[in-house]
Amino acid sequence: MEFECTSCGACCVRIGESLDKPARFHFLKQAKADFPYDTREDGSCEKLIDNRCSVYDHRPLYCDIGRLADETNMLMTKEKWFDMNYKGCEELQMKYL
């Protein structure tokens, strides 16, 4: 099972909001603490260039939905984790795109 990202960039454009409001990721404090990049004044990730992640192949754990499911104790099924993230993606898309 893979997380099917639409590559819209909404999560990267609003990474500052995502990091500041971790309700969706409430049990992933360590992944948030390990986020290695800065955010710009507008809330976007500094590694977002031309609406593409410039470090995609080496993105941090916080940004990799599938790897998070595999490497952390989710206390939920992978399917439920993906569904929760799809809903979060839709909210970001509707709000910012």
Note the pLDDT tens digit of each residue in 4-53: 888 888 888 877 666 554 445 554 555 666 778 888 988 889 999 988 89
Cα–Cα distance between 93 and 97 in angstroms, integer?
Answer: 5
* pLDDT, greater one: 93 or 33: 93
Answer whether residue 97 shows pLDDT above 90.
Answer: no
What is the domain partition of the chain in residue ranges?
10-96
Q: What is the pLDDT of residue 96?
A: 79
Q: What is the pLDDT of residue 23?
A: 47
Identity of the residue numbered 21: K
Q: What is the pLDDT of residue 20?
A: 52
Please report the DSSP string for the chain in residue order: ---------HHHHTHHHHHH-GGGGTT-HHHHHT----B-TTS-BTTEETTEETTGGG--GGG-HHHHHHHS--SS-HHHHHHHHHHHHHHHHHHH-
Q: What is the pLDDT of residue 30?
A: 58
